């Protein structure tokens, strides 16, 4: 099914907007943060755990699933939804970012990318056609085109050449997806050059993609640089298509980038930080390893309805974490997903109420934007 995006409210004071993304298998309220299920699972959680947070759309990683177990096997098992027992919607990335991060193990040509598997060193090849073939086999609702994500330090000439190839690859990706049930998103590159970003946006927006993403950001650059690009480019993206900012997920970033018109985000922060002991709460971030929680009988967050907060104290969760019990990783991850789901619900509520600018100010001045305690 081809997606539809119904915008229910445009904020009067910012570029923020609230909508409903209908993907057939799931209707997703936007703005939305997608949890990352790299290998076809959100780490430490069952599909029921993920669904219990209200999540209806997750991201899976084409590169990793392409290498193991392989898209042919996933297709044989009935597609990714059946394989992982997930009845919500799935977005699969193209694998491009992971391949291009293997700088010493890959070679880029017009045809695609030759690289060595990080698993066994075997020679592998990924082209726009192969990336789309894999995503068709997965049966994801949203498939991302293969793009080149240039290094943060790349010079302007390299970025322009990379953009041109990404545009050609985008056209090949669309051709490969003809007749597919997947929705296909194009990706806008251009480094940290506003004029190049706008030029590339014109090229990608001219193609019949169902949605458009901003890639190549939040890759180590100063946060202010990212916000400048997002603020300049996002409001120029087509209003009728979903706008997706890739790889961003700190609470303060989500709140501020929504104000510039972003609809969709993905990030490993809720899950990875949980495994490192960092918990997000309405009173700010806390590290469950800290001795201050040794005898703390409070839940992680008094305002949170998740299973971890209903059942367990900070003292018990700290004990589990220091004992390296799997239950600690599961509960902290479950809580963080519930926190981010709740945050996006508050973001959406503020847009619907028409006072999003005031919400941003309150949030940035409040405890949730503070550093860990």
Q: Which two tokens stand for residue 131?
A: 């990336």
* 48 tagged catalytic: no
Helix 326-353 crosses helix 251-258 at what angle (to 10 degrees)? 20
Q: Give the C-alpha separation, 79 to 348, whole Å.
A: 32
- Among 363, 345, 257, 347, CA closest to 15: 257
Catalytic residue among 11, 49, 263, 266: 266
- Among 231, 177, 167, CA closest to 205: 167
Tokens 């506003």, residue?
A: 194
Q: Give the C-alpha separation, 265 to 31, whole Å.
A: 8
> Helix, strand, or coil here: 247?
coil
Backbone angles phi, psi at 282, to 5 degrees: -70, -15
Q: Give the C-alpha separation, 320 to 334, whole Å.
A: 15
pLDDT tens digits for the chain (373 residues)? Answer: 899 999 999 999 999 999 999 999 999 999 999 999 999 999 999 999 999 999 999 999 999 999 999 999 999 999 999 999 999 999 999 887 777 776 677 889 999 999 888 899 899 999 999 999 999 999 999 999 999 988 878 899 999 999 999 999 999 999 999 999 999 999 999 999 999 999 999 999 999 999 999 998 877 678 889 999 999 999 999 999 999 999 999 999 999 999 999 999 999 999 999 999 999 999 999 999 999 999 999 999 999 999 999 999 999 999 999 999 999 999 999 999 999 999 999 999 999 999 999 999 999 999 998 766 5
CB 255 within 8 A of CB 324: no
Q: Which two tokens stand for residue 6?
A: 């119904």
* 93 tagged catalytic: yes
Which CATH architecture does the domain made up of 33-273 adopt?
A: Alpha-Beta Barrel (3.20)
Catalytic residue among 11, 49, 93, 253: 93
Boundaries of every domain in the chain:
33-273, 276-362
Q: Give the C-alpha separation, 1 to 126, whole Å.
A: 26
């Amino acid at each position: 099914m081809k997606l539809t995006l119904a915008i229910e409210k445009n904020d009067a004071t910012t570029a923020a907007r609230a909508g409903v993304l209908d993907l057939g298998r799931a209707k997703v309220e936007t703005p939305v943060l997608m949890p990352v299920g790299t290998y076809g699972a959100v780490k430490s959680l069952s599909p029921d755990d993920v669904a219990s947070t209200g999540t209806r759309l997750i991201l899976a990683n084409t590169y990793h699933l392409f290498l193991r177990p392989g898209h042919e096997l996933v297709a044989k098992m009935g597609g990714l939804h059946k394989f992982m027992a997930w009845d919500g919607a799935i977005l699969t990335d193209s694998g491009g970012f992971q391949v291009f991060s293997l700088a010493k193990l890959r070679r880029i040509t017009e045809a695609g990318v030759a690289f060595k598997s990080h698993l066994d060193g075997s020679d592998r090849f990924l082209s726009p056609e192969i990336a789309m073939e894999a995503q068709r086999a997965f049966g994801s609702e949203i498939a991302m085109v293969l793009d080149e994500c240039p290094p943060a330090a790349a010079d302007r000439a390299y970025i322009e050449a990379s953009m041109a190839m990404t545009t050609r690859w985008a056209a090949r990706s669309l051709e490969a997806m003809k007749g597919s049930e997947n929705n296909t998103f194009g990706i806008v590159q251009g480094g940290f050059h506003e004029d190049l970003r706008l030029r590339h946006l014109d090229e990608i927006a001219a193609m019949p993609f169902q949605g458009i993403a901003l890639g190549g950001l939040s890759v180590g650059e100063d946060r202010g640089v990212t916000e400048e690009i997002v603020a300049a480019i996002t409001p120029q993206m087509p209003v009728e298509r979903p706008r997706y900012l890739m790889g961003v997920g700190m609470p303060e970033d989500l709140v501020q980038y929504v104000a510039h018109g972003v609809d969709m985000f993905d990030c490993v922060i809720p899950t990875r930080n949980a495994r490192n002991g960092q918990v997000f709460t309405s009173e700010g971030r806390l590290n469950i390893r800290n001795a201050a929680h040794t005898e703390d009988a409070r839940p992680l967050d008094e305002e949170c309805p998740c299973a971890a907060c209903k059942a367990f104290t900070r003292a018990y969760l700290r004990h589990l974490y220091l004992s390296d019990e799997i239950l600690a990783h599961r509960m902290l991850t479950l809580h963080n997903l519930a926190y981010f789901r709740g945050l996006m619900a508050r973001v959406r509520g503020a847009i619907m109420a028409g006072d999003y600018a005031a919400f941003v100010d309150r949030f940035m001045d409040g405890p949730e934007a503070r550093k860990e305690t």
